[in-house]
Structure 1
Amino acid sequence: MSATERSERTAVADAACTAAYDAGGGPEVGVALVAVGGYGRRELAPYSDLDLLLVHDAGVDVEALAGGLWYPLWDGGFKVDHAVRTVDETLTAAADDLKVALGLLDARHLAGDPNVTLRLRAQLFAAWRRDARRRLPGLRALTRARHDLVGELAHVSVPDLKEAEGGLRDATVLKALVATWLVDIPHTDLDQSRRALLDVRDHLQAAAGRATDRVAPELWDELAARLGLADAVAAQGHVRGIGRRIDHISRTTWRRVDAVLAQERVPTRPRRPQLERVAPGVALAAGEIVLEKGARPSADPLLVLRAAAEAAERDVLLAPATAARLGAESAPLPVPWPAEARQLFVRLLASGRGLLDVWSTLEETGVAERLLPEWSRVHGLPHASVIHRFTVDRHVVETCIEAAALIRTVARPDVLMVAALLHDIGKGGLVDHSVAGEPIAREVAARMGFAPDEVDLVGDLVRWHLLLSETATTRDPDDPATVELVARHVTTPEALSLLVALTEADCRAASAKAWSSWRAGLVRQLARRTLASLLARATGAAAPVAGEVELEVPAEVRRDPRAVAVTVEETVDGSRITTLAADRNGVLADVAAALAVQRITVRAARAWSQGPYAVSVWETGEREVAAAVLRERVAAIVDARLDPRDRIARMVRSTREPSVVVRPEASRRATVLEVRTDDRPGVVALVCRALAELDISVRSAHISTLGPQAVDVFYVQEASAGVLSEQRAAEAAHTLRGLLSATVDR
Structure 2
Amino acid sequence: MWESVNTPRISNQRAVIDRRKLAAAVAEAVSGKDAQKARPQVLELLRGALQAGREELGRRLAEKPSAGHEATHGYCFLIDQLIRVLHDHVVHDVYPNANPSTGEKLALIAVGGYGRGEMAPHSDVDIAFITPIKTPAWCEQVIEALLYFLWDLGLHVGHSSRSLDEMVRMARGDLTIRTALLEGRYLWGDQDLYKDASRRFWSEVVPGSEAQFVAEKLEERNNRHKRMGDSRYVVEPNVKDGKGGLRDLQTLYWIGKYNHRVTSAAELVDVGLFTQKEYRTFRRAENFLLAVRCHLHTITGRGEDRLTFDLQREVARRMNFADRPGKNAVERFMQFYFLQARNVGNLTGVFLSHLEEEMAERKRKRGLFSRRARNVTRLKGYEVADGRISAPEDDWFQNDPIRLIEIFTLAEQHGLEIHPETMRMARRDAELIKGPVRRDPRANALFLDLLCGRKDPETVLRWLNEAGVFGRFMPDFGKVNAQMQFDMYHHYTVDEHTIRAVGLLAQIERGELTQDHPMATQVIQKIAHRRVLYVATLLHDIAKGRGGDHSVLGAEVAMKLCPRLGLNEDETELVSWLVRYHLLMSATAFKRDLSDPKTIDDFVAEVQTLERLRLLSLLTIVDIRAVGPGIWNSWKRQLLGELYELAEERMRLGKATHRRAQRVAAKKERVAELLGDKASIITDLEDRFDDAYWIAEPEDIIARNQVHYAAAKAVEDKLSIYAEYYPARGATLVTVIGDDHPGLFFRIAGAIHLAGGNIIDARIHTTRVGKAVDNFLVQNPLGQPFREESQIERLQSAIKDALAGKIELVPQLAKRPLARPRADNFRVRPQVFFDNDASERFTVIEVNATDRPALLNRLARALFEAQLIINSAHITQYGERAVDTFYVTDLFGHKLHKKERRQKVEEALLEAAGNAVEDSEKAA
TM-score range for the pair, normalised by the shorter chain length: 0.5 to 0.7
Amino acid at match of 1:139: K
Q: Closer, same or farther in 2 for the Cα pair 1:336/1:406, shift >3 Å?
A: farther
Q: Distance in 1 between matches of 2:352 and 2:396?
A: 29
Q: Distance in 2 between matches of 1:203 and 1:484?
A: 54
- Quick check: 391-400 or 225-234, which moved more? 225-234
Q: Is the 8 A contact 2:390 2:418 kept in 1?
A: no
1:215 counterpart residue number: 307
1:38 corresponds to which of 105, 113, 133: 113
Residue 56 of structure 1 pairs with residue 131 of structure 2: yes
- Quick check: 318-327 or 166-175, which moved more? 318-327
Amino acid at match of 2:506: A
Amino acid at match of 2:80: D
Instruction: Output aligned runs, 1:259-270, within 5 Å.
Output: 265-268=363-366
1:588 counterpart residue number: none
Instruction: Output aligned runs, 1:634-653, within 5 Å.
Output: none
1:439 counterpart residue number: 556
Q: Is the 8 A contact 2:438 2:444 kept in 1?
A: no
Q: Distance in 2 between matches of 1:416 and 1:256?
A: 38
Q: Closer, same or farther in 2 for the Cα pair 1:202/1:443, shift >3 Å?
A: same
- Quick check: 176-185 or 237-246, which moved more? 176-185
SS of alignment partner, residue 109 of structure 1:
strand
Residue 405 of structure 1 pairs with residue 507 of structure 2: yes
Residue 117 of structure 1 pairs with residue 194 of structure 2: yes
Q: Closer, same or farther in 2 for the Cα pair 1:354/1:106, shift >3 Å?
A: farther
- 1:317-366 CA-partner distances (Å, limit 9, x unpaired): 4533221344133565567552673244332564666744x545544554
- Quick check: 166-175 or 347-356, which moved more? 347-356
Instruction: Output aligned runs, 1:171-190, within 5 Å.
Output: 171-181=249-259, 184-185=273-274, 186-190=278-282
Instruction: Output aligned runs, 1:576-725, within 5 Å.
Output: none
1:376 corresponds to which of 445, 457, 478: 478
Q: Distance in 2 between matches of 1:534 and 1:272?
A: 66
Q: Is the 8 A contact 1:259 1:287 kept in 2?
A: no
Q: Is the 8 A contact 1:220 1:232 kept in 2?
A: yes
Q: Is the 8 A contact 1:129 1:179 kept in 2?
A: no
Residue 388 of structure 1 pairs with residue 388 of structure 2: no
- 1:484-532 CA-partner distances (Å, limit 9, x unpaired): 3332233333332222222221122112332212211221232233233
2:291 counterpart residue number: 199
Q: Distance in 2 between matches of 1:452 and 1:443?
A: 11
SS of alignment partner, residue 236 of structure 2:
coil
Q: Distance in 1 between matches of 2:176 and 2:183?
A: 12
1:138 counterpart residue number: 216
Q: Is the 8 A contact 1:424 1:437 kept in 2?
A: yes
Q: Closer, same or farther in 2 for the Cα pair 1:359/1:23, shift >3 Å?
A: farther
Residue 324 of structure 1 pairs with residue 427 of structure 2: yes
Taking structure 1 as the reference length, what is the TM-score of the superposition? 0.65
Q: Distance in 2 between matches of 1:71 and 1:329?
A: 61
Q: Distance in 2 between matches of 1:294 and 1:104?
A: 40
Q: For residue 190 of structure 1, report the CA deviation from its aligned partner.
A: 1.4
2:88 corresponds to which of 22, 30, 53: 22
Residue 490 of structure 1 pairs with residue 607 of structure 2: yes
1:232 counterpart residue number: 330
SS of alignment partner, residue 626 of structure 2:
helix
SS of alignment partner, residue 54 of structure 1:
strand
The answer for unaligned runs of 5 or more in structure 2 is 1-60, 62-66, 92-96, 261-271, 323-328, 511-523, 656-924
1:425 corresponds to which of 524, 527, 542: 542
Q: Distance in 1 between matches of 2:242 and 2:290?
A: 14
2:73 counterpart residue number: 7
Q: Closer, same or farther in 2 for the Cα pair 1:176/1:428, shift >3 Å?
A: same
Cα RMSD of the aligned pairs, angstroms, is 3.3
1:714 counterpart residue number: none
Q: Distance in 1 between matches of 2:371 and 2:76?
A: 44
Instruction: Output aligned runs, 1:267-278, within 5 Å.
Output: 267-268=365-366, 276-277=376-377
SS of alignment partner, residue 259 of structure 2:
coil
2:400 counterpart residue number: 300
Q: Distance in 2 between matches of 1:381 and 1:164?
A: 18
Aligned pair count reads 537
1:553 counterpart residue number: none
Q: Distance in 2 between matches of 1:466 and 1:513?
A: 19
Q: For residue 60 of structure 1, report the CA deviation from its aligned partner.
A: 5.2
Residue 101 of structure 1 pairs with residue 202 of structure 2: no
- 1:645-689 CA-partner distances (Å, limit 9, x unpaired): xxxxxxxxxxxxxxxxxxxxxxxxxxxxxxxxxxxxxxxxxxxxx
Q: Closer, same or farther in 2 for the Cα pair 1:264/1:38, shift >3 Å?
A: closer
Q: Closer, same or farther in 2 for the Cα pair 1:451/1:138, shift >3 Å?
A: same
Q: For residue 39 of structure 1, report the CA deviation from its aligned partner.
A: 0.5
1:66 corresponds to which of 127, 143, 160: 143
- 1:427-454 CA-partner distances (Å, limit 9, x unpaired): 1134222122111122111111111111
SS of alignment partner, residue 33 of structure 1:
strand
1:282 counterpart residue number: 382
- 1:608-629 CA-partner distances (Å, limit 9, x unpaired): xxxxxxxxxxxxxxxxxxxxxx
The answer for unaligned runs of 5 or more in structure 1 is 539-746
2:642 counterpart residue number: 525
Amino acid at match of 1:308: F
SS of alignment partner, residue 126 of structure 2:
strand
SS of alignment partner, residue 19 of structure 1:
helix
Amino acid at match of 2:273: D
2:162 corresponds to which of 72, 81, 85: 85
Q: Closer, same or farther in 2 for the Cα pair 1:48/1:316, shift >3 Å?
A: same
SS of alignment partner, residue 265 of structure 1:
helix
Q: Distance in 1 between matches of 2:529 and 2:257?
A: 49
Q: Is the 8 A contact 1:308 1:348 kept in 2?
A: no
Q: Closer, same or farther in 2 for the Cα pair 1:384/1:14, shift >3 Å?
A: closer
SS of alignment partner, residue 424 of structure 1:
coil
Amino acid at match of 1:401: G
SS of alignment partner, residue 397 of structure 2:
coil
- Quick check: 170-179 or 297-306, which moved more? 297-306
2:718 counterpart residue number: none
Return the structure number with greater helix share: 2
Q: Is the 8 A contact 2:133 2:164 kept in 1?
A: yes
Q: Is the 8 A contact 1:301 1:333 kept in 2?
A: no
Q: Distance in 2 between matches of 1:498 and 1:260?
A: 48
Q: Closer, same or farther in 2 for the Cα pair 1:90/1:489, shift >3 Å?
A: farther
Q: Distance in 1 between matches of 2:543 and 2:581?
A: 13
- 1:109-166 CA-partner distances (Å, limit 9, x unpaired): 1123334433434444564462233343433332222222223685323222111111
Q: Distance in 1 between matches of 2:244 and 2:469?
A: 21
2:233 counterpart residue number: 155
Q: Closer, same or farther in 2 for the Cα pair 1:124/1:312, shift >3 Å?
A: farther
Q: Distance in 2 between matches of 1:364 and 1:14?
A: 40
SS of alignment partner, residue 405 of structure 1:
helix
SS of alignment partner, residue 206 of structure 1:
helix
1:342 counterpart residue number: 445
Q: Distance in 2 between matches of 1:51 and 1:20?
A: 16
Q: Distance in 2 between matches of 1:531 and 1:388?
A: 30
Q: Is the 8 A contact 2:456 2:506 kept in 1?
A: no
Q: Closer, same or farther in 2 for the Cα pair 1:450/1:223, shift >3 Å?
A: same
Q: For residue 285 of structure 1, report the CA deviation from its aligned partner.
A: 5.5
Q: Is the 8 A contact 1:45 1:201 kept in 2?
A: yes
Q: For residue 37 of structure 1, report the CA deviation from its aligned partner.
A: 0.7
Amino acid at match of 1:17: I
Residue 248 of structure 1 pairs with residue 248 of structure 2: no
Instruction: Output aligned runs, 1:431-580, within 5 Å.
Output: 431-536=548-653
